[in-house]
Structure 1
C-alpha cells in the first residue's frame, strides 16, 4: 500500500504573498509544511496546524508539491541549488510563483528537470489581499499534465488559473506584457493626476472617474488586441486620426501648465510618425507598427510607406 505523504503541499517563502498562499491552503484544509529564512514569520501559521521544516531540502522532501514564492529567480535558484536540495527534488512537482525573466525561467526549469522533478512556472496577477477570489488570475506555463495535476491546488490560490502553453517561459513573457500595460497605464494615471492638480480639479474625483471607466476601456483594449492579432487595421472603433490632435492637446496644455511632458511627448512622437507613414485612416491599433522593426511595416500590404528612421 502506498504511504500518504506527510503533507499535501510545501510553501517556501513567507513574504506577504507567501503568507497569503499558505493561509488560503490552511483554510481549505490542506496539510502544509513551511520553510522560510526567518522562521519567526511562520509562527501564526504553526499555531493553526502548519509544520515548519528546518531546511529547504526537508521541506521539499515532505510533500509531493512545493510552491516557491520568493523575491526573485535568483533567490529561488539559490534555494534549489543549496546543500542536498537537488536530491530532494526527485519525483516532485515544483511550482515557482516568483518573478523573473524568460531566460531565468528556462535556466531554473532545466535545473529542476535535471534533478528528476517536474516544473510549472507561474505569474501572480494580483496583490496578496486579492488572492483566493473567483476571478483572481494566475498565469501558468509548462507541461499540460503537470497543470492538470496542480489545477485543484491552483484554484485554491486563484479562481482563474490560465494555462498559457507548454513553453515554460510563456507565463513570464505574458507577465512582462501585462506589467507593461499596468505600468504604462499608471504613468498615464499619474500624468492625469498632475493635470487635475494643476487645473484645480479634485484628484479624488478624478480617481473615481478613472475607476468607472475601467471596464469599458478594458473591453476597448481587448478589441485593439484582436485587431493587432488579425493584422487588419481597417477602422472599426477608433480612427487613428482623432488621437493625433487629442494627444497634441494634452502635450500643449501640459507645457502651458508647466508639467512634466515626457509621456505626452512620447505619444505625440509616435502619432506623428504614424501620420508621416500615411496611417491616419486606419484603426488606432495600427500605431503598433511604429513600435515594430521597420521591416515589419512594409510587410503589411496596402498600409502606407515605410516610417522614416
Structure 2
C-alpha cells in the first residue's frame, strides 16, 4: 500500500507528487497520459494501471485535475466508486463553494471521507516554506491527511467543517492576485512609456510587499467591524490618485481601460458620500451592486 495516490499529473499534480516523493512518502500516481509519470516513477513513484487501481492503492487519494467535472469523469466508473469507500478523498482542483458542497455530497454517497482544498502557490513553490494549502470539510479526513498535506506545502490551514470555505477563500485570493497583476501590468506600461526598467519596478513591488500586506490587513479589519472613520488615507484621496493615473495614461497614449475602471469605482464611492472614510468603505458600494 502507498501512503497516498495522486490522480492528475498536470504541472501542479506533478509538483505535488514530486514534493511527496522528496519527503519520503510512498506515492502512487495516475494520469491519462502515462508517459507524463515517467519522471516520477524514476524518483520512486508507483504507476497505477487505472484510476481504480490508483484509488485502491492508498488510503488517501489526492485529485488535482482541470475542474470538478473532470474529477467526476474519472471517478464515476463503477469500479472506481466502489474503491472509494472508506478512503479519504482530497480535492485540490479549482472550483466554487457550490462545487465543493456538491463534491462532498458526491463523496459521502460513495462512502468516502471528503476534504476540499485550494493551493495558494505555483508549482515550483510546492514543498517549500512559502507554499500554502487551505482545506475545509471533514475533520477526520483532515487528521488522516494532515501529515501528507504538510509534505506538499510549507503552510497548511484547516478552515473547519464548512466545506465551501477553502474554495471561497481561494477565489477571494485569486480576485486579489488578478487585480494586483492587472495593476502591475498597467504599471509596467507606465514604466515603458517613460523609459524605465520594468524589472526594477517588479523588484520595488517585492520590496514593499510587507507594507502593502499591512495596508490590506488594516482594510480587512475595518471591513470586518464596519469602522471606516479617521483614515490615514481617505477614499477621496484614492480617487484623486486614480484620476492622475488615468490622466497619465491619456497623456502617454496608453490603454486607459484599467485606470478608467479604477477611477470610476473610486468616484462612485465618493459620490455615495464615503469620500472622507477609509478606502475600505468602497465595500459598501460593492454591496449595493448586489
TM-score w.r.t. structure 1 length?
0.90
In the other structure, the counterpart of 2:200 is: 205
In the other structure, the counterpart of 2:178 is: 183
For 1:139 and 1:194, the matched residues in 2 are separated by 34
For 2:44 and 2:203, the matched residues in 1 are separated by 42
In the other structure, the counterpart of 1:172 is: 167
In the other structure, the counterpart of 1:290 is: 285
Match of 1:110 among 96, 105, 109: 105
For 1:49 and 1:190, the matched residues in 2 are separated by 41
- Between 153-162 and 201-210, report the one with greater CA deviation: 201-210
Larger radius of gyration: 1
Matched residue pairs, number?
290
In the other structure, the counterpart of 1:251 is: 246
Runs (4 or more) in structure 1 with deviation over 4 Å come to none
In the other structure, the counterpart of 1:67 is: 62
In the other structure, the counterpart of 1:231 is: 226
Higher helix proportion (structure 1 or 2): 2
For 1:286 and 1:89, the matched residues in 2 are separated by 47
- Between 90-99 and 204-213, report the one with greater CA deviation: 204-213
For 2:154 and 2:289, the matched residues in 1 are separated by 41
Where in structure 1 are there 5+ consecutive unaligned residues? 1-5, 296-309
For 1:136 and 1:230, the matched residues in 2 are separated by 30
Match of 1:157 among 152, 156, 161: 152
How far apart are residue 102 of structure 1 and its match?
2.0
Is 1:85 the counterpart of 2:77 in the alignment? no
Is the partner of 1:33 in helix, strand or coil? Answer: strand
For 1:98 and 1:20, the matched residues in 2 are separated by 14
* Superposed CA offset, 1:166-194 (max 9, x none): 11111111111000000000010011111
In the other structure, the counterpart of 2:9 is: 14
In the other structure, the counterpart of 1:132 is: 127
For 2:135 and 2:151, the matched residues in 1 are separated by 14
Is 1:274 the counterpart of 2:274 in the alignment? no
In the other structure, the counterpart of 1:50 is: 45
How far apart are residue 294 of structure 1 and its match?
5.8
Is 1:215 the counterpart of 2:194 in the alignment? no
In the other structure, the counterpart of 1:25 is: 20
For 1:30 and 1:136, the matched residues in 2 are separated by 18
Is the partner of 2:28 in helix, strand or coil? Answer: strand
For 1:129 and 1:294, the matched residues in 2 are separated by 38
For 2:129 and 2:193, the matched residues in 1 are separated by 40
Is the partner of 2:176 in helix, strand or coil? Answer: helix
TM-score w.r.t. structure 2 length?
0.96
How far apart are residue 134 of structure 1 and its match?
2.4
Once superposed, what is the RMSD of the aligned Cα atoms?
A: 1.4
Match of 2:260 among 262, 265, 273: 265
How far apart are residue 143 of structure 1 and its match?
1.8
Where in structure 2 are there 5+ consecutive unaligned residues? none
- Between 173-182 and 74-83, report the one with greater CA deviation: 74-83
* Superposed CA offset, 1:261-308 (max 9, x none): 11111121122222222212111111111111269xxxxxxxxxxxxx
For 2:269 and 2:21, the matched residues in 1 are separated by 54
* Superposed CA offset, 1:79-106 (max 9, x none): 1112411100100000011111222222
Higher relative contact order (CA 8 A, sep 6+): 2
In the other structure, the counterpart of 2:29 is: 34
